[in-house]
């Protein structure tokens, strides 16, 4: 279901959190920060949208047919694992999850990119991955576990 940002905030204030977290609207936010920069009341709406997305994934309430939550989940997994994004695993896993037949159609283009050296198949971890894990471990662990099974919701019920 799509709502306007105003309706999202109104629903949130009315305590209709599940309605908010199930909506497509929060996934349409492209993080342009226009609202945050312009808000006369200093409301950081972009950060609110980020938090609503995180909660939607954690509680397993993100729309099942939406692709943005899949991208967010895969992006977080790869960055936590490598300390950086790796485009090939991201696109490959995304296509397999959302459109497996489409993945096969991309093979000719991917082959051309690989031959030209534009598509490395291996992904590298950053040098300070251990330090990064130490910094982000406490922060990312609940999110990642929530991303995989909606486990946080099950644990709380």
* Sign of the torsion angle spanned by Cα atoms 42, 44, 63, 20: negative
* Binding-site member from 10, 18, 34, 51 for ligand SF4 (CB under 6 A): 34
* Binding-site member from 46, 69, 86, 147 for ligand SF4 (CB under 6 A): 46
- Binding region for ligand SF4 (CB under 6 A) out of 28-36, 57-65, 92-100, 121-129: 28-36
Which one, 21 or 49, has the nearer CB to ligand SF4? Answer: 49
23 binds ligand SF4 (CB under 6 A): no
Question: d(Cα 9, Cα 45) in Å, to the nearest integer?
Answer: 9
Question: d(Cα 76, Cα 72) in Å, to the nearest integer?
Answer: 6
Pure H helices in the chain: 5-13, 17-22, 25-28, 34-38, 45-58, 68-82, 87-98, 100-105, 107-115, 129-149, 151-156
Least spacing, CB of residue 33 vs ligand SF4, in Å = 5
Q: Which residue has the tokens 């096969």?
A: 104
Which one, 33 or 114, has the nearer CB to ligand SF4? Answer: 33
29 binds ligand SF4 (CB under 6 A): yes
30 binds ligand SF4 (CB under 6 A): yes
49 binds ligand SF4 (CB under 6 A): yes
Contact between 50 and 31 under an 8 Å Cβ cutoff? The reply is yes
Report the interface residues with ligand SF4, using CB under 6 A: 5, 29-35, 45-46, 49
């Amino acid at each position: 279901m799509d709502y306007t940002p105003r309706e999202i905030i109104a629903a949130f204030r009315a305590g209709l959190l599940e309605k908010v977290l199930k909506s497509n609207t929060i996934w349409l936010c492209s993080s342009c920060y226009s609202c945050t920069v312009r808000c006369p009341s200093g409301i950081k709406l972009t950060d609110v949208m980020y938090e609503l997305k995180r909660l939607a994934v954690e509680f397993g309430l993100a729309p099942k047919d939406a692709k943005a939550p899949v991208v967010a989940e895969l992006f977080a997994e790869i960055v936590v694992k490598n300390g950086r994004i790796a485009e090939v695993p991201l696109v490959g896993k995304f296509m397999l999850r959302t459109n497996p037949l489409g993945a096969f159609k991309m093979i000719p283009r991917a082959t051309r990119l690989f031959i030209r050296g534009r598509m490395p198949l291996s992904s590298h971890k950053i040098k300070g991955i251990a330090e990064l894990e130490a910094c982000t471990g406490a922060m990312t662990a609940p999110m990642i576990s929530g991303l995989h099974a909606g486990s946080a919701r099950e644990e709380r019920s």
